[in-house]
Amino acid sequence: MKNSFVVLFLIICCFYFKVNSIVCDPPVGTPVNEPLGEGFGINKGRVVWVINRDATTWDGINGYYYDSEYLDQSKVDIMMDNAIRSLTGNEDVVLAWNMLFRDFNKRKHGQDVGYKSGQTIAMKINLNADYGGYGDNNGNEVSPQFLRSLMTHLTKYVGADQKDLYIYDASRLIMPHFQKMFGQYFPNINLFDNRGGEGSIQRVQPDPTSYLQFSNTEVPAQKQTKLPTFVNQADYVIEIDNFRGHSIAGVTLSGKNWFGTIYRPDIVCDFAGRHAGHWCPASLHKFVNITERPMGTYTPLVDLLGHPKLTNNALFVIADGLYGGPLEESCINDEDCVPSPPVIFEMEPFNDHWSSSIFISQDPIALDSVALDILRSEPHIPYSRIGCSDNYLHEGALANNPPSGTVYNPSGQKQLESLGIHEHWNNPYERKYTRNFDPVNGKGIELVEIDLSTD
C-alpha cells in the first residue's frame, strides 16, 4: 500500500527535524487537565467528535478517496446531523441551528435573534496543496460530500438562499470535483478562488476598506493586509478546517486555515511570481515555524483567530476529518511536490482505518486543542509532535495576557480577550478533559464522542 511509503518518508523527515528542533517548555501535551482561558458557547468548551468508519472505504490505491463508492454521502449526512444536534444539545436539527444563530447574535450583538433571510455566510475551506492547476488529486483536504452535507443544512434547515452563501480559498484553486458537486446540487452558491474563470468560479478580490494588522512590528508590512470583500461584508462566518499535520506549523486546523484569506499588497512573494500584491502568506511562515519558535512567543495565528471579521465572526468552527493526513504536500525537492494523500490512523478509535471523523465546536481554541491531542498521539502524523505546536493555543487562550507579553490587537481598536479554552486530555486512551471528569464544576473542555461505526 502506498501509505507505507508516505510513512517512511515522514519518519525520515521527523528524525531530521527532531534533531534540529528547539526544546519546548512546557513540552507539547502538558500540563494535563489544567485549563487556560475562558470557554464560551451554548455548552462552554464543548467539542463534538463524530466518527463512522463505515463511511470511508477507499483502498488507498484506486480512484479518488472522495469517489462515491469510497465516501458514503448518506453516512456523512447522518454524521453532520449528529454533530449539529450534539453541539447544542437539541435533538431537533432546525431548532439546533436556530440556537446557534441566537447564541452568536447574543454574544456578538446583544440581540436574541436568529438567522434572517438575506444575511450572508462566508465559508473558508482549506485547499492548501491545490495551486498548480485545475486537476483532481488525492490530496487530503475537505471533501465534496462534507460540503454537500453542510450546504444542505444551511439551505434546508436554516433557510439560507444559495446566492447568500460564499465558499472560497483565496490562495488556492477549487478543483473539478468540487465544481461538479456544486454545479449539480448548489449552482447558485458563490465560489471564489485565487484565479477564477474556471466554470462558475470567480476570482477573489480584496476589499480596500478592510483592515487587519499584525500585533508584532517584526511582521513585514505589519499594517498592510486586506480581506476578501465578501468576508469583510459577511454577516456570519463558518470556518471549515482540515484535520492534518503541517510541515511548518505542525498542524493545519482553525489557526492556520486563515492563511488563505489575507491579501498582502506591499509584500513580494516568490510563490506568487515575485511581485507585490497577492494572497500569499509566505511572509508569515517564519512566525509559525514550530521548530524555531519557542513557547511564549508571538504568533500571527492569534491575530487571525481574534480578528472581528474572521474566527471572531464565526458561528462555529468545523473540521472535515473524514480522510485526515500527515501534511499538506509531499516533496522530494522544491521542484517536485505533490498533494499529500490521506493516511491510515492506527490509534483507537480509528483502529487502523481512515480518520473518518467530523469535529465541531463554537470554541476554536477548544476544537484545535482536541484535534492536536489526537494528531500528536497518532504515529502517522509526526510533524504534530515536533517543536512547539501548541504555542498558539496558549497564546490564544490567554490573548488578554499572553505568555509572550504581546498586545494582540488585530483590528487596531482594542486588545483581544481570551479566544477560548485550552487544555490537554488526560491520556489518549480515556481522552478525558476537565468537564468530562466534572460536568458541573469543570472549567475546561468537554469532549463528546459519538461513534456511529458498526464494526
The position carrying cell 454537500 is 148
pTM of the model: 0.94
Cell of 301: 495565528
Q: What is the pLDDT of residue 365?
A: 98
Task: Give residue-wise pLDDT tens across range 292-310.
Answer: 999 999 999 999 999 999 9
Q: Of how many residues is the chain composed?
A: 455
Burial of 379 (0-12, 13-18, 19+ CB in 10 A): middle
Amino acid at position 154, single letter: L
**For range 201-214, the mean pLDDT:** 97
**Residue-wise DSSP of 135-199:** -----SS--HHHHHHHHHIIIIII---GGGEEEE-TTS---HHHHHHHHHH-TTSEEEESS--ST
Closest CA to 142 of 321, 339, 330, 328: 321
Amino acid at position 42, single letter: I
Task: Give residue-wise pLDDT tens across range 92-121.
Answer: 999 999 999 999 999 999 999 999 999 999
Task: Give residue-wise pLDDT tens across range 419-431.
Answer: 999 999 999 999 9
Q: Which residues pair with 48 in a beta bridge?
A: 360, 448
The total of other beta-carbon atoms located within 10 Å of residue 5's CB is 10
Q: Are the C-beta atoms of 375 and 428 separated by less than 8 Å?
A: no
Q: What is the pLDDT of residue 1?
A: 44
Task: Give residue-wise pLDDT tens across range 393-408.
Answer: 999 999 999 999 999 9
| 131 φ/ψ sector (left φ>0, alpha ψ -120 to 50, else beta) | alpha
